């Protein structure tokens, strides 16, 4: 009888496709899944008893800002503890490469804490990720905002010139050739809000040629969301790229209930082009502190402030009362800062999450002093709270939205399924107890019920702590395309 490196025995397999749970042993050799057979039949050097547990593909967090967290914090505990084995980085228009300026600057500091993590081209950045030997994989988008700062300097309140667009386009082209998986834009943000639709199209043109995806933090997620959706669809159509709309939400009390408009709008467009979206399972969002967002939120929590100490985790209303001024004035006084905004309708969040076009992404921000709980809680919350406790969708479907569907939409070859020949990215969890424990008050807290997480055949998380695995890698689009055809 063949002996394997690892055998996960007697588990219930949720294979990622949505197929009903089935009992099986799963065997790993090297970095691959090599056998799936009747319970109790496979033998390995390392046997894990998964009786009563679910064996799923490792989860794919399709919306992250973990670009340099993979380098600075290679155990990636905030993600590995949730069962995540691949993070898609570079979302919302901000990526760590390509970037030739000498300083990190304010915008880039959202995802970069160390100057040495700046990289002039994508290949050298990917090299830094590989050299850090992270516990989990990264796949990387190139940020349109990063390209803008790189090519336009501080003069961003205008459309790029033809020469600047050409430079950005060439940098994107080179990055895609070097293995980046696509481009993200964040037209909502000041660094990119003056970019025209035509500018984004001009820059994003290489996506069509390389088969890269286009992800969009849209220009508007509130009153003008339908118009912003049309702009996004137009960009994808004109460059010939598949679209992923980031963290789909209807933001602000006056827009509560508008999933009734946006979801059919998606469905109409989906008939003509490939479109999907990601969702995080919370009614609060988080980004930089912006005074124009204060009116829309029921409550605002400060996540960090570079100006005033002791602000992290506090309610802006209280800070304003203490300062004896308006919330807007208080916000101005503590800038630059980050915030959590309670600004979504629970019914909308559930409608988005359970839509056929939806996959799960955390949008966690790894370096926040008091992060949004989604950083540590997204995946167990979908499994435990939304699937098991609320019955929003069956467990098999919850797993599918975190694995095979995500891998297909981002073209991550041979990942996202428990299948022979696929990479050994696996998560063993207890379906009866799995739950997030991170809260808005205490956001840094690992999930309960996730026992074993394996990435490329190595333990990323085991028995409540990092498992010592260092087998994560920078996934290369070119290599994945070749593998897909093989
Ligand atoms: Zn975003
Ligand atoms: Cu984001």
Task: Taking the CA atoms of 144, 60, 76 and 472 in sequence, report the sign of the dihedral they define.
Answer: negative
Cα 63 to averaged position of ligand 2 atoms, centre (Å): 6
Give distance in angstroms: CA of 451 to centre of ligand 2: 28
Cα–Cα dist 417/58, whole Å: 8
Give the ligand whose atoms come closest to the C-alpha of residue 66. 2
Tell me the ligand closest to 111's alpha carbon: 2
* Ligand 1 centroid to residue 460 C-alpha, Å: 27
pLDDT of residue 106: 86
Helices (H), 273-325: 316-323
CB crowding 103-128: b at 16 or more within 10 Å, else e: ebbebbebbbeeeebbbebbbebbeb
pLDDT digits (tens, 9 = 90+) for 43-78: 999 999 999 999 999 999 999 999 999 999 999 999
Interval between CA 80 and ligand 1 midpoint (Å): 22
Q: How far is CA 22 from CA 36, 56, 245, 396, 422, in A?
A: 11, 11, 33, 11, 18
Question: Residue 163 contacts by C-beta under 8 Å, 6 or more apart in sequence?
Answer: none
Give Dmax (Cα) for the chain. 75
Which of 91-105, 123-137, 376-390, 396-410 is least confident? 91-105
In sequence order, the 6+-apart residues with CB closer than 8 A to the CB of 391 are none
Count CB-CB contacts under 10 A for residue 10: 18
d(CA 200, CA 185): 8
pLDDT value for 1: 60
If you measure from the C-alpha of residue 22 to the centroid of ligand 1, how many angstroms do you get, rounded to a whole number?
A: 37
C-alpha–C-alpha distance, residues 6 and 42, integer Å: 10
CA distance 405 to 277: 11
Ligand nearest 375 Cα, by number? 2
Domains present along the chain, CATH in parentheses: 58-283+344-414 (3.20.20.140), 294-337 (3.30.1490.130)
What distance in angstroms lies between residue 187's CA and the mean position of ligand 1's atoms?
A: 9
Helix (H, G, I), strand (E, B) or coil at 216: strand
CB 338 within 8 A of CB 365: yes
Cα(65) to centroid(ligand 2), Å: 6
Position 2 confidence tier, pLDDT thresholds 50, 70, 90: low
Instruction: Find the 85 Cα to ligand 1 centroid distance in Å.
Output: 21
CA of 423 to the centre of ligand 1 (A): 29
CA–CA separation, 397 and 393 (whole Å) = 6
Q: For residue 281, give the nearest of 258, 244, 249 by alpha carbon.
A: 249
Q: How far is the CA of 78 from the centre of ligand 1 (A)?
A: 19
| 344 burial type by CB count under 10 A (0-12 exposed, 13-18 middle, 19+ buried) | buried
- 3-state DSSP helix/strand/coil % of the chain, to nearest 5: 35, 25, 45
Side-by-side strand order, sheet with 299-305:
284-288, 337-342, 299-305
Query: In this predicted structure, what is the pLDDT of residue 377?
Result: 98
Enter the tokens of residue 312. 């992290």
Specify the DSSP element, H or E, that contains 3: strand 3-13
Give residue 320's pLDDT: 97
Which tokens sit at 16?
A: 């990622």
Q: What is the DSSP string of 64-92?
A: ---TTHHHHSTT-HHHHTTTEEEEEE-GG
Helix/strand/coil for 383? helix
Across 357-377, average pLDDT: 96
Percentage of the chain modeled with pLDDT above 70: 100
State yes or no: pLDDT of 209 exceeds 90. Answer: yes
Q: How far apart are CA 139 and CA 179, in angstroms?
A: 9
Query: How many angstroms separate the CA atoms of 112 and 67, rounded?
Result: 8
Nearest to 203 by CA among 170, 237, 156, 243: 170
Return the structure tokens found at 378.
């997204």
DSSP state of 93: G
Using a CB cutoff of 5 Å, list residues around ligand 1, an ion.
Answer: 92, 217
Terminal Cα-to-Cα distance of the chain (whole angstroms):
29
pLDDT band at 279 (very low <50, low <70, confident <90, very high): very high
pLDDT at position 453 over 90 = yes
In degrees, rounded to 5, the angle at the alpha carbon of residue 361 between the alpha carbons of residues 360 and 367 is 155
Rg (CA), the chain: 22
User: Residue written as tokens 């009888």?
Assistant: 1
**Least distant ligand from the CA of 192:** 1
- Measure 415 CA to ligand 1 centroid, in angstroms: 25
Q: How many angstroms does the Cα of residue 184 sit away from the middle of ligand 2?
A: 10
CA-closest candidate to residue 2, choices 20, 21, 29, 39: 29
The Cα angle at residue 105 between residues 99 and 107, in degrees rounded to 5 = 90
**481: CA distance to ligand 2 center in Å?**
26
The model's confidence at residue 231, banded by pLDDT at 50, 70 and 90, is very high
Q: Residue 64 Cα, ligand 1 centroid: separation in angstroms?
A: 9
Q: How far apart are CA 116 and CA 106, in angstroms?
A: 16
Cα of 25 from ligand 1 centre, angstroms: 40
Q: Give the model's confidence band at 450: pLDDT under 50 very low, under 70 low, under 90 confident, else very high.
A: very high
How many angstroms does the Cα of residue 323 sit away from the middle of ligand 2? 31
The overall pTM is greater than 0.85: yes
Model confidence at 353, pLDDT cuts 50, 70, 90, reads very high
Q: State how far the Cα of 344 lies from the Cα of 286, in Å rounded to an integer.
A: 12
C-alpha of residue 374 to centroid of ligand 1, in Å:
13
Q: How far is the CA of 6 from the centre of ligand 2 (A)?
A: 35
């Amino acid at each position: 009888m063949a002996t394997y490196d690892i055998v996960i025995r007697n588990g219930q397999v949720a294979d990622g496709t949505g197929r009903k749970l089935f009992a099986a042993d799963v065997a790993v050799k090297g970095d691959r899944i090599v056998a799936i057979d009747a319970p109790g039949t496979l033998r390995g050097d390392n046997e894990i008893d998964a009786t009563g547990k679910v064996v799923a593909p490792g989860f794919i967090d399709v919306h992250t800002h973990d670009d340099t967290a993979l380098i600075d914090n290679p155990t990636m505990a905030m993600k590995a503890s949730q069962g995540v084995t691949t993070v898609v980085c570079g979302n919302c228009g901000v990526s760590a490469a390509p970037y030739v300026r000498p300083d990190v600057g304010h915008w880039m500091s959202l995802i970069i804490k160390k100057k040495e993590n700046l990289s002039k081209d994508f290949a050298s950045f990917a090299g830094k990720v590989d050299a850090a030997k992270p516990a989990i994989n990264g796949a990387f988008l190139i940020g349109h905002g990063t390209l803008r700062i790189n090519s336009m300097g501080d003069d961003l309140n205008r459309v790029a010139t033809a020469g600047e667009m050409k430079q950005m386009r060439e940098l994107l082209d080179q990055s895609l050739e070097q293995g980046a998986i696509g481009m993200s834009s964040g037209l909502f943000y000041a660094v990119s809000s003056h970019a025209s639709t035509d500018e984004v199209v001009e820059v994003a043109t290489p996506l069509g040629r390389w088969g890269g995806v286009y992800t969009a933090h849209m220009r508007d997620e509130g009153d003008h969301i339908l118009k912003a959706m049309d702009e996004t669809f137009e960009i994808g159509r004109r460059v010939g790229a598949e679209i992923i709309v980031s963290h789909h939400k209807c933001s602000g009390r006056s827009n509560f209930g508008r999933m009734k408009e946006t979801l059919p709008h998606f469905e109409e467009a989906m008939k003509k082009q490939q479109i999907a979206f990601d969702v995080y399972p919370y009614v609060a969002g988080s980004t930089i502190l912006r005074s124009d967002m204060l009116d829309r939120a029921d409550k605002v929590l400060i996540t960090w402030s570079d100006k005033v100490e002791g602000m992290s985790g506090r309610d802006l209303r209280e800070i304003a009362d203490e300062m004896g001024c308006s919330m807007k004035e208080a916000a101005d006084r503590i800038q630059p800062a980050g915030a959590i905004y309670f600004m979504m309708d629970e019914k909308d969040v559930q409608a988005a999450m359970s839509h056929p076009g939806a996959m799960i992404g955390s949008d966690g921000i790894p370096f926040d002093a008091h992060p949004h709980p989604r950083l540590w809680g997204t995946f167990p919350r979908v499994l435990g709270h939304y699937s098991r406790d609320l019955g929003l969708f069956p467990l098999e479907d919850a797993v599918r939205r975190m694995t095979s569907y995500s891998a297909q939409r981002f073209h991550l070859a041979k990942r996202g399924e428990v299948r022979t020949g696929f990479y050994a990215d696996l998560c063993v969890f207890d379906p009866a107890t799995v739950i997030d424990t991170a809260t808005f008050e205490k956001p840094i807290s690992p999930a309960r019920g996730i026992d074993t997480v394996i990435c490329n055949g190595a333990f990323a998380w085991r028995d409540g702590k990092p498992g010592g695995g260092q087998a994560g890698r920078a996934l290369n689009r070119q290599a994945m395309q070749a593998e897909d055809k093989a």
